[in-house]
Structure formats: C-alpha cells, structure tokens
Structure 1
Amino acid sequence: MITPDPAMAGPAFQPPQRAGSGDATATARPPPTARTVTPAADLRPLLAARFRRIRTVTGQLAAPLTPEDQMVQSAPETSPVKWHLAHTSWSLERHVLERFAPGYRAFDDRFAFLFNTCVEPQPTCHPAAARGLLSRPGHEELRQYRDHVNAAVLRLIDETPDADWSGVARRIELALQHEQYCQERLLADIKHAFWQNPLRPTYQPPQPAALTTAAGQSWSVHPGGPEGIGHDGPGVVFDLEEPRHVVWLEPFRLSGRLVTNAEYLEFIEDGGYADATLWDPDGWATAQREGWRAPLYWFRRGPDWFQFTLSGTRLLDGEEPVCHVSWHEAAAFARWDGRRLPTEAEWEAAAQPLRRTGNLLDYGRLHPAVATCIGDGPWQIYGDCWEWTSSPLIAYPRWSPGDKTVGEHAGLPAAGRMVLKGGSALTPGDLVRASFRHHLTPASRWHMTGIRLAEDV
C-alpha cells in the first residue's frame, strides 16, 4: 500500500476483505477535515502524493471484488467496476497525457473507444448500456494499463517545465477530482449489482454505529437577503460551480437533520405512495410504472422492514437517514409533511459557514449514520446522503465552459436533471464543498440520496 503524504487531506481508504468473506472487522475512524489542494509550482511533491493516494484508493475500492463482480452491469445507467478502473485511466490519458506529455504513447489506442464517457451510441465510443459486455480487456491487462498511466503522470509531474507547471497541475487536479467522483459511482454501482444477485453478497462486514437514537427535529433560521453562491477563490473546481454570483433569498428555515427512516415509514403507512395529490405528474406516472412502494433497497418480510446495504441485509434502523429515494419521492414526502425541499441557493447559503466534515467515504462506514446533532445546526450537511434540492441544473449567470472540462463534467449536461448537495457516505472527504453541484435525473434512486426539508418564514 502506498502511504499517503501526511499533508494531504484524509487517510487512504482501508479496503474490506473480498466480498462475502465476512472475516475482517473494521474500526471506524473520525472523519477528517476536508480541503482542496491548490496546485502551484512549488507543490510538485504534494501533487504527486495526492495523485498516488487517490489512484490507490480506487484500486482499494475494487480489491474486495472478484473479477466476476467487476464485470457486472446491473442497469443501463450503471457501469461495471472494471469499466470505472479503465475509464479513470483513459480520462488521465485523454485530458492530461495526450495534451501535456510530449511523446506520450497510449497503452492501447482501442481503449479510447471502449472507455470514453458517451451515453448515447456514437461512432466514437462503445454504448454506455453495453459496458457489461466487455469481457476483454481482462483484469491483468487493465492493471497494466493503470500502471502505465500512473508512471506517465508521475513522470509528467516531475519533468514539466516551471513555465508550464500551473496549467498542467490544474488539469491533473481536475482529473483527480473526476476520479474521486467515479469512486463514489463505483460503490453505488456495485451495491446495485449485489442487490440484483439473489445471494445478496456483502461488500464489507457490518460497521459499528456511534449512536442509536436520532435527536428530535429542529430548525435553523436564515434571515434571507443577498447571498454569494458558487465558487470564487483558490483551488480547482468543475466549471458548473462558477462563476460566483449574488442571489436574493427570502427568509427560510432549514431542518436541522435529514429525514429518518422512521419518519419516512410514517409517510408510507399513511398511504403516501397511493395518494396522487402528493406527487408531480411525472413522478406519479413513474412510481406507478415502476411499482415503487418504498425506497430502493427496502423490502418487507411479515411485519418487519429490511434494508440492503454494502454490509449486507439487516433490519431497517428507523433512526438512520432515509436514503436511495428519488427526487419525486423526496418532493412527495415534503409535500405530505407540509414543507418543501430547499433550493440550491438556500442549501448553499446555509452550508458555506460550516466545516466540511461528516460521515464520508474516509470514515469507512459506507452507509448513512444516526445524526449526532452536537452544537449548532444544521447537521449532516456534509456526508450521509446527497440532499435533493428543488432546483434544476442550469448554468449560472455569465457561465461559459472553460478549459477545465473532464469526462462526465464536460460542460452543461442534458436538461432534466436536479441538483443535489452535500455528499454522501460514499463521497471522498476532500471532494465535498458547498459549491459542488451533483446532478441526477428526478427518477434516480441508486445513488445515496436523502431528504432535508425547508419552509418559508
């Protein structure tokens, strides 16, 4: 294992044993304070250490899985683990090495077709929905591919002339953040794959819980007024987080913690999935067509509800945050509760003063935890669950795509996506920030998505 530089944010992820073994016992660690490294000409060793750490974590996340596990694609919107391993290498190859490394030779020219990010079938890439058909290249060849790219990037960090360093370092940092985004996708996708398997395999052993009872709901009041939204400052971010701009907010209240499983169960038992008046038309049609009666990964045996997790199947814990709900379900719950989802700007205004810590990937739990609610709220802003907002993903005023587009973050995606904020228990700790704009279609459920409520004052 590569030892991370102590100056980098967060420890390397410690992988569980191979899926289903159940022999290892992991110890939870307190989450680190997240921060983003700003590449500069005198920070080559730090960037090299950060590169090694993030690339190592990706390999560690895949380590518990068999080659057969790594090939499964359980839905058109998911990807096999082996594809993620190759795609993150292709991204570095395409957006860093081909552009900045003189004389770089691709490991295999065919990989540009196989591991590109095209969603719709195009002549330049393999169809996204058919990634599970790629039995070749094999496991060993993809390991060699990652090693080839790793060596070339480290050589580039070491040999780039000082005059070119700033641009190269920024591009590498952006590619690393893209890889961290893919780390979360990898875990979400393998969870969905294991859920489809009748054996319901486990990715890691059960993790200890720090608390057993969630605090009662409380509310944080924001006075409203002009607020700066978006990124503006040092560090490298995706172009959709810029430019920073001022918005006007009316006074509002934000719930102190996320909605719990027990609270969502009340919605179910009160007929929430049978009451069309609570749902937007598209959501109601989707829920009926898909047969939704509870969040993804919930199921009932007799009087008891169970939940599938990366640590296997267990009784539903009513005190934990509800997760794996779509935007349609989150909006219906909020309407049933007499509240609403926060806007993106409201959430970001509330989050900006808060420390970027929480139950994130670095913690190792890989599942939402009971809210601690220590000190002043709101709590669980970072980690546990991505929080749906009522805001569609649109470009900010005066936005233009810059020279920072990488992979899935290449400019403005197709319309019809809703913004989520805050990160989840699968998100790397130094990727989260108030300005980060995760986005999914309203019917998406396989990401670790939850609910925070808001209301007007």
Structure 2
Amino acid sequence: MLVTETLLDTFLITRKESETICAPLEIEDYVVQPVEDVSPPKWHLGHSTWFFEEFLLKPYLKDYKVYDEDFSFVFNSYYETVGKRVIRADRGNLSRPSVQKVYNYRNYVTNAIKTLLDTEPDEKLLQLLEIGIHHEKQHQELLLTDIKYILGNNPLLPAYTDTINEHREESHQQDWVSIDAGIYEIGHDLDNFCFDNELGRHKVYLHAYEISNKLITNKEYLEFINDGGYNSFELWHAEGWDWVCKNQIISPLYWHNINREWHNYTLEGLRKISPNTPVSHLSYYEAFAFAQWKGYRLPTEFEWEVAQKYFPWGDRWEWTESTYLPYPGYQKEEGALGEYNGKFMVSQKVLRGGSFATPSNHTRPTYRNFFHPHLRWQYTGLRLAK
C-alpha cells in the first residue's frame, strides 16, 4: 500500500531536481530545439507539470482551476485522447509562454498537488501520483541529454557546468559471465513501482551463452574506427550502412578529430577522449557493427536481464538485440495512460540498464527503454555476448 507522506516527499524532491538540472542554463538556452528528437528545456518543465494537472488535478481536485487554458495545447506530448497539441518539431518556436511563466506554472501545480494530498486520497490516485513522479524522472534524463545536445551543437561548444563528471571508468577486470541453458523468468514481480511494459512476468528458454562483465570503452571503439569500421559495409545492416553513407557518419556523436587527435564534447566542454570510459552516444547500427567487427554479438534483453546480477550496470543505456514488443498477457491501460508505452511497440530496439543521466531510484533490472536504431543522443553504449 502506498503511503501519502512518503510519496509527497518524493514528489517534492523530484520537482526540485528538475529545476536543479536547469539551474546552470542561461535564459536563452531554455527555448532551443536543434532537431525534432530534442525538446527545449522549457518544454520539459512545462510538460512534466501538465501531466500532474491533466491526470490528477483536473479529475480529482474539487473546483480546481487550470493555470492557463492554452497550456494543454502547448505541453501535451503525444496523448491523442487528451486533444490537440503543438507538433513536436515546433516546440522550439514557443518563445511564449515565458520561462518565468512556466516556473510560475510549476509552483501553482506543485502547491495544488499538496492540497490534493490533504484530501485523504485513495490508492488509485496515489498510483497516478507515483506514475507522474517517474514520468518526471524520465524527463529529467531527457532534460540532461537534451541540454547536452543543445550546447554540443552550439558552435562555441560551451560547458554546461564544471561541477559534473560524466566519465566513470569501470575499473574491474574484463571477464565473460557464463550462463547455462535453461528456462528463466523475465519481467517485474516485486511490489515496488514498474511501468506496464515490464509486465507480465513470463518464462523464456535461453541457450547457453556468455556475456561480458564490462562495457566497451572509448579505447576499444577507437580501434574499430582506426581499422576502418565505418568504411566496411560488410559489418553493417543494409539500413545501417545507408544511414552511415547518407549522414557521413565517421564516429560516435560528439566526437571531434582535432589535429589528428580525438576529442569529445562533454557537459564540462570539449575534452580529449578518456580511453577507459565506456563509449557512449552510439546508435544501434554502430553497436551492431562493432560487435560484428569483434566477432561477437549484442545480448538479447532476456540474456541481459538474467545475467545482470553478475556485473555492474547503469552507467550507459545498453543496446540489445531485442525488438521492443509486448510481453505475454500485456494489456494497455484504459484511457490516455494507455498511450504511455504500448503504441510505441514498433520498429524500435530495447535498451537495458540506465545511464549517467538517469535519476536515482528510477531504473531497475526489468526496466525496458526503447529507441529507434539510428538515435544516439542518449548515453547509449554496449556490452558484448557470445
């Protein structure tokens, strides 16, 4: 049973964390949208607020007055059930509402949620609040990676802050974890929070396999580049090779070859490549091609889940060889929240683990992230299997 006081504390902490992420920004940074997949920070702050207003305050708080009638149109993301919205590619055109008005909106909704929780909420309302908290945590991860993309595509390559370090070396020895063939259970089975795409728990048969206990590092990936990995069509899926050729891809996102020495843009600014840091900002295409080059493969999401207790994870979202599909018995929720995960189960690959940008207490061994194969603005990396 969910406890109101605990959830309220978590809610308030989460709301504050979103604003802490934005604290180093200049006011001009809040509206920039370099590409469709990246949303302006101001939009994230407003959307995560709108979620609480739309799904908790409007249906559950008596006499609640929405902050601004236009905000549902401005800050709805993809919920067809809720109504019309600004198309995703136009979020960067929203010079209004102002940043200050969005922060005022956040305060207004946060205070209204506190009032709502004073009304002896039932279990269903508390479950919605918990979903809203984790929804905002998802947007905190997106906030940080979107901010990196915004600043990393600024010609000056400005630093976001000098008090953050995204370079986390894995210091343990590389080894192969052996898993016996057999039937294993997959999916969430605990009492703590999960998203609906982690249900229902089911059995899978796995052939015997081995999986690396370490992520691939920048040094290892540089060997792939130097060996002509981006010029060897036989390593790539046809779709991946088309992507490489069309976009003239020669390295991971944010890598820059300066005077024949590789650097990469980080949240601290431009830095020389850190050899022993796990490589990141790879597409699935690149992860697959690297595995081919090494003579190994990517693990399936089921292999990853069974083996995850034997290696550290959470530093990079890890591409798997699994297509994002529903588990047996999966059922979407009724109404708008049914649009949260299910309608995206097409043409996407599953990532497992978490990343440098993932908020605390958000990920777990059964968490299923998912992206289209060409996307790489998240902290995406890989480990090998055989």
TM over 0.5, yes or no? yes
CA distance in structure 1 between the aligned counterparts of 2:194 and 2:318, rounded to whole angstroms: 20
CA contact (8 A) 1:297 1:308 kept: yes
Cα separation, partners in 2 of 1:115 and 1:210, compared to 1, 3 Å: closer
* 1:430 and 2:361 are equivalent in the alignment: yes
Name the counterpart of 2:344.
413
Partner-residue secondary structure (3-state), 2:225: helix
Equivalent residue for 1:378, pick from 307, 311, 319:
311
CA RMSD after TM alignment: 2.0
Rounded to whole Å, the distance in 2 between the matches of 1:144 and 1:254 is: 49
Give the alignment partner of residue 400 of structure 1, picking from 324, 331, 336.
331
Q: 1:67 aligns with which of 3, 10, 27?
A: 27
Q: For residues 241-293 of structure 1, what are the alpha-carbon distances to aligned partners after superposition, in whole Å with 9 as ceiling and x for unaligned?
A: 11111111111111011000010011111110001110001100001111110
TM-score, scaled relative to structure 2: 0.95
1:254 and 2:211 are equivalent in the alignment: yes
1:93 equivalenced with 2:53 (yes/no): yes
Give 1:209 deviation, angstroms: 8.8
| Runs (5+) with no aligned partner, structure 2 | none
Instruction: Write the deviation string for residues 390-422 of structure 1: whole angstroms up to 9, x where unpaired.
Output: 001011111111259649724331511100010
Alignment of 1:302 onto 2:259: yes
Alpha-carbon spacing, 1:231–1:412, altered in 2? closer, same or farther (3 Å) = farther
Measured against aligned partners, the alpha-carbon deviations of 1:38-81 in whole angstroms (never above 9, x if no partner) come to x52xx221111101000000011111111110111111111000
Q: Which of the two has greater helix per residue? A: 2
Q: Secondary structure at the match of 1:412?
A: helix
Work out which of the residue numbers 18, 24, 42 in structure 2 matches 1:82.
42
Measured after TM superposition, the shift of residue 228 of structure 1 is: 1.1
Instruction: Sort the Cα spacing of 1:138 and 1:288 in 2 relative to 1 into closer, same or farther, 3 A.
Output: same
How many angstroms does 1:95 deviate by? 1.4
C-alpha distance in structure 2 between counterparts of 1:209 and 1:400, whole Å: 37
**Structure 1 residue 142 and structure 2 residue 102: aligned?**
yes
AA in 1 matched with 2:114: L
**In the superposition, relative to structure 1, how do residues 445 and 210 fare at CA in structure 2: closer, same or farther (>3 Å)?**
closer
1:220 to 169, 172, 177: 177
Structure 1 distance, partners of 2:239, 2:195, is 30
In 2: Cα distance, 1:190 partner to 1:235 partner: 30
* 1:241 is aligned to 2:201: no
Aligned to 1:231: 188
Equivalent positions of 1:349-368 (< 5 A) are 349-351=306-308, 354=309
Residue 23 of structure 1 aligns with which residue?
none
- What amino acid does structure 2 have at the position aligned with 1:399? Y
Q: What secondary structure is seen at the aligned counterpart in 2 of 1:64?
A: coil
Which of 154, 168, 184 is the aligned partner of 2:125? 168
Distance 1:318 1:408 in 2: 41
> Aligned pairs, how many?
385
What SS class does the counterpart of residue 306 from structure 1 fall into? strand
Looking at structure 2, the residues matched to 257 and 205 of structure 1 have their Cα atoms a distance apart, in angstroms, of 28
The unaligned stretches of length 5 or more in structure 1 are 1-38, 355-376
Contact 2:165/2:268, CA 8 A, preserved across alignment: no
212 and 101 in structure 1: CA distance in 2 versus 1, 3 angstrom threshold: closer
Query: For residue 315 of structure 1, what is the aligned residue in structure 2?
Result: 272
CA deviation map 1:159-201 (0-9, x unaligned): 135xxx2111111001100100000001111100111111111
Residue 52 (structure 1) aligned with residue 12 (structure 2): yes
Q: Which residue of 2 aligns with 1:387?
A: 318
- Letter of the structure 2 residue corresponding to residue 222 of structure 1: I
CA distance in 2, matches of 1:430, 1:93: 24
Distance in 1 between the 2:109 and 2:250 partners?
46
For 1:429 and 1:44, the matched residues in 2 are separated by 20
Distance 1:235 1:76 in 2: 34
* Pairing 1:153–2:113 present: yes
The answer to whether the 8 A contact 1:242-1:396 is kept is yes
Match among 361, 371, 381 for residue 440 of structure 1: 371
Q: Is the 8 A contact 1:93 1:106 kept in 2?
A: yes
Task: Please report the TM-score for the alignment, with normalisation by the length of structure 1.
Answer: 0.81
Whole-angstrom CA distance in 1 between matches of 2:148 and 2:182: 42
